[in-house]
Amino acid sequence: MSGNEAIALGAYEAGVKVGAGYPGTPSTEILENLCRYPEVSTEWSVNEKVALEVGIGSALAGGRALITMKHVGLNVAADPLFTASYIGVKGGLVVVTADDPEMHSSQNEQDNRHYARAAKIPMLEPSDSEEARDFTKIAFEISEKYDTPVLLRTTTRISHSMSGLVKGQRVEAKTPEGFIPNQPKYVMIPLNAKKRHPVVERRMFQIAEDAENMEFNFIEGGTGDFGIITSGVSYTYVREAYPDVPVLKLGMVYPLPELMIREFCSKYSTVYVVEELDPFIEDQIKAWGLKVRGKDIFPIIGEYSPELIRCAIGGKSIPENISLSVKLPPRPPSLCPGCPHRIVYSVLSRMKLKVSGDIGCYSLGALPPFTAMHTCIDMGASITVAQGIEMAMGGDCCDTVALLGDSTFAHSGITGLLNAAYNKRHSLIIVLDNGTTAMTGIQPNPLSGETINGHETVALDYAKFGEACGLKTEDIRTVDAYKEEDIEKAISEMTASGRLSLLIVKGLCIILKRRQQAARKERGA
C-alpha cells in the first residue's frame, strides 16, 4: 500500500466524516482512495483554501475532517490555516501537506515544516506506509486532545512508496453534534483573537512538554561514538546506511521534545541531524545552545539517499557517475501524442506571441518543439501576470497572451479574470479546456460537470461568466482544439481587437478519451 493509500485508510479507520482537497502531486491519491468509502463525505474543492475552510466547518460541527494538498497548495490555504490555529477544533482536523524534495513534479522545493512553526500547529511526519496510517489516526487524537489542527507532512518518497501494513477496523467517531456557536472562540475579531493567542501559545508549550513522552518520538540504541537525529524518509536512509548507530527518531517534527534531544546530544561526541531540505530541526536544536552537525555536511537541495548520508558522515565525496562513451539524448516529459494542447502551441509558437503561462500538463508547452510558454509561477498567475506586464507597458499588451487550463481557471483564474475586467485591462485569456485535471491523473473539476464520485453536476458556463464580468459577447469565443485555422484566426482577431477577451480551446484530454472508450467497450462486452 502506498503512503497516500495508507493515509486514506488511517483517516477511514479514525472515523473521518469529511475529506476535501485539491489535486496535486504527490498528494492526489489520498482523496482518490478516501472517496471510495461510502461513510466519508468527500469533494474535490475548487482550490486548497476552499478545501481547508470546508474542513474547518466540518471540525466546528464536530465531524473529523482530512484535508489534502501538495506543498504549494498550502500556500493557497495558508490564510485559513493561521487562524484555524486560533479557533481550534471540535472534531479533529488533519491537514496533509505532501512536499516534493527533488521537484519531481513541482515548481519549487519549499519545506512546509516551516508552516507548523509559523502557524503554531503540531506536525507529524511518517517514515513509511504503516506510520502514515498510524500517524493519521494519532493526528486526529492529538487534534481533539489539544484543540488544534494538526499538520501531517509527507514527501514524495513517502506518498509514492509502497510498503506492507495490516488493515484495521473503522472506529466510528461520535456523531457530530452540529455547529454550536461559541463567539469568543470562533469569531476572530481582534477582541477575541487577542484572548485566543495566549491559549495557542500555552497549547504549543503543553504539546512540547508532552512530546517528551509521545511514543512516536523514540531513541533506538546502538554502538559508536556518534548519534543521529532524524525523521520521515530520512530515517529509513539512516537505518539503511548505519543499522547499528544510535538514532533519535522524531515522529513529530514540531514542536520538538527538548529534554529528550538534550539528553541524546549529551551522550555522544558528535550528533548529526539528517533532514532533507532546510535545517528545520537543526536550527531549533542549535537555538538551545547545543552543538550538532547538519547542513555543514548535508545538502540543502534535493533528496537524500543512504549513499549520500554515508559519504557525508564519512567525509567522502559522492562517487562520480560512470562516464558513458555513448551520448544519451535527454528524455524530458512531453505532451502526449494526440494531446489537444499541441495545435494551439504550434499556433502560438508560429505567431511569436509571448505567453504568460500557468500550472498543468500544458506547462510542457514551454519545452521544445513549441517553446511557447514564457512564465510559469503558480496556479492562476497567467492572467494576473499578463495584467502586470500590460500596466508596466502603459496599457500595451498585444504581443502577450495569458494561457491556462480549465482546472487552473476554476482554482484561481476566475479572480484574475474579474480583476482584469474590473481594472479595464485588455489582454487575451486563453483557456485550454481538456475536460479534466489531467496532470495529476484525471480528476473532475468545476468545469467538467462531474463530482469526485462521478455524479453529474453543474459545469461553469464560460460565456455567461465572461458576460457577467462585462465582456462583450463577441469577445468570448470557443474553438475546437484540433482546428488549427480556427484557432489561428481567433487568436489573431482577438489580440488585434485590443479588448479584454476570452478564448476557450476545447478538446478532450487524450488519456481521458481513451479511458472513456475503454469503459464503453467494457460495458458493451
Partner 1 sequence: MDKVTNILMVGVGGQGILLSSNILSSAALRDGFDVKKSEIHGMSQRGGSVFSHIRFGSIVYSPVISRRQADIILALEEMEVLRWIDYASEDCKIIFSRERILPAGTTSYPEGVEDEIRRLCPNVYPVCPDELKKKIENVKTLNVALLGILSDFVSISDASWQSAIKEFVPAATLESNLKAFQAGRNIISEK
By beta-carbon proximity to partner 1, the closer residue of 400 and 408 is 408
**Residue 224 in contact with partner 1, rule: CB under 8 A:** no
Size of the residue set binding partner 1 (CB under 8 A): 49
By beta-carbon proximity to partner 1, the closer residue of 178 and 333 is 333
Q: How far is the CB of 362 from partner 1 (least distance, A)?
A: 11
By beta-carbon proximity to partner 1, the closer residue of 190 and 319 is 319
d(CA 13, CA 11): 5
> What is the Cα 26 distance to its own chain's centre?
7
Q: How far is the CB of 303 from partner 1 (least distance, A)?
A: 8
Tell me which H or E stretch contains 123. strand 123-124
Among 240, 283, 474, 480, binds partner 1 (CB under 8 A): 240
Give the three cell numbers for residue 421: 475586467
By beta-carbon proximity to partner 1, the closer residue of 26 and 91 is 26
364: which DSSP letter?
Answer: G
Give the three cell numbers for residue 192: 477575541
Give the three cell numbers for residue 44: 474535490
Amino acid at 113: R
Among 45, 412, 440, 501, binds partner 1 (CB under 8 A): 440
Q: How far is the CB of 222 from partner 1 (least distance, A)?
A: 14
Buried-state track 5-22, b at ≥16 Cβ within 10 A, e below 16: bbbbbbbbbbbbbbbbbb
d(CA 122, CA 146): 10
Binding mask 296-335 for partner 1 (x = CB under 8 A): ---------xxx-----------x-xx-xxxxxxxxxxxx
Q: Look-up: residue for cell 549529551?
A: 266
Task: Enumerate residues 133-172 that contact partner 1 by CB under 8 A.
Answer: 156-157, 160-164
Among 72, 121, 252, 364, binds partner 1 (CB under 8 A): 364
By beta-carbon proximity to partner 1, the closer residue of 163 and 419 is 163
d(CA 64, CA 56): 10
By beta-carbon proximity to partner 1, the closer residue of 69 and 490 is 69
d(CA 428, CA 375): 15
Q: How far is the CB of 332 from partner 1 (least distance, A)?
A: 6
By beta-carbon proximity to partner 1, the closer residue of 113 and 157 is 157
d(CA 465, CA 46): 16
Tell me how far CA of residue 500 lies from CA of 122, 251, 344, 375, 389, in angstroms.
46, 52, 19, 20, 14
**Residue 349 in contact with partner 1, rule: CB under 8 A:** no
The contacts of residue 227 (CB under 8 Å, 6+ apart) are: 245, 246, 247, 248, 264, 265, 267, 268, 270, 271, 272
Amino acid at 233: V
Radius of gyration from C-alpha coordinates of the chain: 25
Three-class secondary structure of residue 384 per DSSP = helix
> What is the Cα 346 distance to its own chain's centre?
31
Task: Enumerate residues 40-69 that contact partner 1 by CB under 8 A.
Answer: none
Among 57, 61, 78, 105, binds partner 1 (CB under 8 A): 105
**Residue 189 in contact with partner 1, rule: CB under 8 A:** no
Q: How far is the CB of 39 from partner 1 (least distance, A)?
A: 25
Interacting residues toward partner 1 by CB under 8 A: 25-26, 28-29, 104-105, 128, 156-157, 160-164, 233, 236-237, 239-240, 243, 305-307, 319, 321-322, 324-336, 361, 363-364, 367-369, 439-441, 525
